[in-house]
Amino acid sequence: MRSVDPWIAETAPRIARRAERELEALVAVSSPSGDRAGAEEAVAVATALLPASAEVERPACSSPDHAPDLLATLTGSGSRRVLLLGHLDTVVAHGEHRPPSRDGDRILGSGTVDMKGGVALALGVLEAFAERPEAYAELVLLLVVDEEWRVEPFAHTSRFEGFDACLCFEAGERGPGGEEGVVVKRKAAGTLRIEARGVSAHSGSAPQKGRNALLALAKAAESVAGHHAPDGPDRLTAVPTIIRSGDAFNVVPAAGELLCDLRADRLDAFDAVARGVPAEVGGATLHPEIVRSWPGMDAREPTAPLLAAASAMVGRKVVGVERGGASDASHFAPAIPLTVDGLGPCGGGAHNPGEFVLVPTLATRAQVALAMTASALWQPR
């Protein structure tokens, strides 16, 4: 096994030690997407953990009525500009929020792996490079507060166009042989909303006078699921996830909606799913609309030299892997070809009550994050 770069070997354990405490502080804050107070509290915690030399800004969030995002910039004497990226919001509502706790080598809690663990590592990387201003012209950390449920266009891409690299700190992975894995390919992601419009009627005395929106949505769900083809040419997954219809047990539902999660190699693959929804079922009409559309990402070729350089610095192989979930890294990849995701710690249970981060990976993934950042800053143009 090759040796780890001495600076990384010295710095990564320091980042890991602070990341444990800072992860718990971040997870202690309930910050569901769209909740302004929770976002402001999470931003306040993150701001308190920034290097003293960082210039702090609060740019407007992509989503209206949200708290502003957090932007921290280190300015140095080097030549390259690198963006570190993360999000502070979770999918977990206040009532279901699980505060941080310990179970052996795990830190459990809402948002631990998605992605406050990654935020803690990104803050540590920023702190480490604050001591090395000769390494960069700009090292910027962007933490957004609306990643988990954004339907508006992403607002920040143009600001960072021309940056040399974008490194996103979503959860880390392992390669097929157990190697350190970072994400270099993601599917496109979309949310299909189908609205049903029917006619209400008493379900006992006059059901024939109604037009059942719930039955229409059930048929729409079958139509969407019929397009599910993960082994097909576009590797399309089409999964109905939420259905809402009806207000009383004895009334024919007059309205409702169905939400479906779509993933594929191409955004265009979603169009056929929407077109396949029947216009009318039993007199109730159906109205499909793609309400959330995120591009895919394929940075395998431009990031190959970066991964090789990082591997040399950590003394073990760092490989590119693919992930199906969406990420803001996909928004930056068209403008910053050297975009890599999955630099956070490893864990599991994202979006679930048992969500966790594996504590030992805070140190190993800190090594990877430092090596990726250093390699991005020192790569030849």
pLDDT in tens, 233-254: 999 999 999 999 999 999 999 9
pLDDT at residue 380, rounded to an integer: 54
**Mean pLDDT across the chain, nearest whole number?**
96
Domain ranges of the chain: 6-186+296-378, 188-294
User: The domain at 188-294 falls in which architecture?
Assistant: 2-Layer Sandwich (3.30)
pLDDT at residue 381, rounded to an integer: 47
Q: Which band of pLDDT confidence, cut at 50, 70 and 90, is reported for residue 61?
A: very high
Neighbouring C-beta atoms of residue 209, cutoff 10 Å: 11
pLDDT at residue 379, rounded to an integer: 65
Peptide bond into 372 cis (omega under 30): no
Local structure of 233: helix, strand or coil: coil
Fold identical between 6-186+296-378 and 188-294? no
Residues contacting 171, CB < 8 A, separation 6+: 113, 114, 115, 117, 118, 342, 344, 345, 346, 347, 350
pLDDT at residue 150, rounded to an integer: 92
User: The domain at 6-186+296-378 falls in which architecture?
Assistant: 3-Layer(aba) Sandwich (3.40)
Mean pLDDT over residues 186-215, rounded? Answer: 97
pLDDT in tens, 25-37: 999 999 999 999 9
pLDDT at residue 378, rounded to an integer: 84
Mean pLDDT over residues 106-122, rounded? Answer: 98
Q: Which band of pLDDT confidence, cut at 50, 70 and 90, is reported for residue 1?
A: low
pLDDT in tens, 266-324: 999 999 999 999 999 999 999 999 999 999 999 999 999 999 999 999 999 999 999 98
